[in-house]
Amino acid sequence: MNSERIKISSRPFLIGLFAFKNELFFDKDFLYVQRKKEIKQFPLASILSVQRTYNKVNNREVWELTLIDERQKYSYRFLTNLTLSNPNFSIFLQHMEKQYPNCRRSKLTIWTI
């Protein structure tokens, strides 16, 4: 894996457009959360879980990423950018499973794309 940032979230079209204001990126060591021009950086080791919620927007699953940084808990809900031609979110989950096996993760299935 190279060190450039890989986007793992997408902004929904129309419905939910204003609910998901953060864009999520990662590289081999960090998670980046961008909102407008502000970027927060968190070590991947601080991620506690990446799990699918029971909510849907535009017939797509909403995911929630939870982490602790400097004794403060953060939670980000997002839609993945996972498609048949864009495996970035799947790559992220595989990286988390390999490098950080204690992180709780929901499994990807054909029904959760």
Q: Which domains does the chain have, with CATH numbers?
A: 6-112 (2.30.29.30)
pLDDT tier for residue 108 given thresholds of 50, 70 and 90:
confident
Q: Where are the alpha helices (DSSP H) in 1-113?
A: 88-99
Q: Cα dist. 55→26, 32, 33, 79, 92 in Å? A: 24, 23, 21, 10, 21
DSSP secondary structure letter of residue 77: E
- So what's the pLDDT on residue 82? 85
Query: Is the whole-model pTM more than 0.85?
Result: yes
Which pLDDT tens digit goes with each residue over 49-98? 999 999 888 788 889 999 999 999 999 999 998 887 889 999 999 999 99
Question: Taking a C-beta distance cutoff of 8 angstroms, is the pair 104, 50 a contact?
Answer: yes
Average pLDDT, integer, range 9-32:
80
